[in-house]
Amino acid sequence: MNLFTLVLLLLALSGCSSEVVPDFTQKCPEFFADPKGDRSSPTVFPGNDYKQICQKREDTYEYATLYDTANRIPVYSAYKFEGLQSCIRIDKWFIEPQLEDLGPQMISESNMIQKQAVNQDYEKKSRPLYDKGHLAPVYHARSKSCADATFTLTNAAPQDRSFNRGQWRKTEEGVAEDVKQKCKGNCVYIVTGVVPDYNKPLLNNKVRIPSHFWTAYCCLDNNLGVTDSRGFIGSNINVEVDNITVSELEGKLTTLYGKGTFQVFGGYCH
Ligand SMILES: *[C@@H]1O[C@H](CO)[C@@H](O)[C@H](O)[C@H]1NC(C)=O
């Protein structure tokens, strides 16, 4: 396969639309809460391994992702929640070609995609079984195009199948219900992330398995005042998810990531 064929292949896999950008709070700011007018993303870890992505499928940005190319899983995806739409799942997964250093030295498909997970990595029949667990979930998508845009490997991490389809699903449903009740007429910002587990073997010798999945929401009124917020975190097994304040979540994430103070909404939504 020559480079030209590979580029065509990559474009086909990618739908050629998302963008790796130097600063996603500049390029697609709309997915980050701006309490009191201060637009703040969750903490961005320093270093070249972490890539900021403005995710889209067609013309509009749909959500934003911080991606860890060393572990080949996202750190988090940030999006706005605008009510449940019940979009149809395409279940066809794309990759992000802009993460790869496409050079003439790359001559086969298998060694070409280096900086992210691919479908085959998840096809291992090892136990426990891992799903491609969505961070920005199809269930919360605000449009068909948004739902389609969640099917990128850069928005997924290995999630224990029974957890994904059990307690975590219940959490996604519970968050949708909570914000419907408590954030009527307000803007709802959600961030969902994972913590890498360095004690587990890699999936397919390549993809880091998370120790935890977490999510948090923050609701802002028309004056950009915080009206409600909540955080959730669960181990990557099918046991109950903790329902805590955003401050408590930030405390746990600061310890778990071990990379200094971790903030989800710039410290405003407690
Ligand atoms: C989380 O806890 C809050 C406060 O107790 C409660 O109102 C909310 O319904 C809970 N949410 C979920 C999804 O369990």
Q: Kindly report, residue by residue over 27-85, the tens digit of the pLDDT.
A: 999 999 999 888 889 999 999 999 999 998 888 899 999 999 999 999 999 999 998 88
pLDDT band at 102 (very low <50, low <70, confident <90, very high): low
What pLDDT does 65 receive? Answer: 97
> 74: CA distance to ligand 1 center in Å?
26
**Which residue is closest in CA terms to ligand 1's atom 7?**
178
**For residue 104, is pLDDT > 50?**
no
The pLDDT tens digits of the residues spanning 171-190 come to 999 999 999 999 988 999 99
Measured in Å, residue 268 CA sits from the centre of ligand 1 at 20
Atom 2 of ligand 1, residue of closest alpha carbon:
243
Are 145 and 194 spatial neighbours (Cβ–Cβ below 8 Å)? Answer: no
The per-residue pLDDT for 52 is 97
Compute the distance from residue 243 Cα to the ligand 1 centre, in Å: 6
Whole-number pLDDT of residue 12: 52
pLDDT in tens, 241-267: 999 999 999 999 999 999 999 999 988
Tell me what pLDDT residue 266 has. 86
Ligand 1: residues with CB < 6 A are 174-175, 178, 230, 243
172, 173, 233, 243: which to mutate for ligand 1, most atoms within 8 A of CB?
243
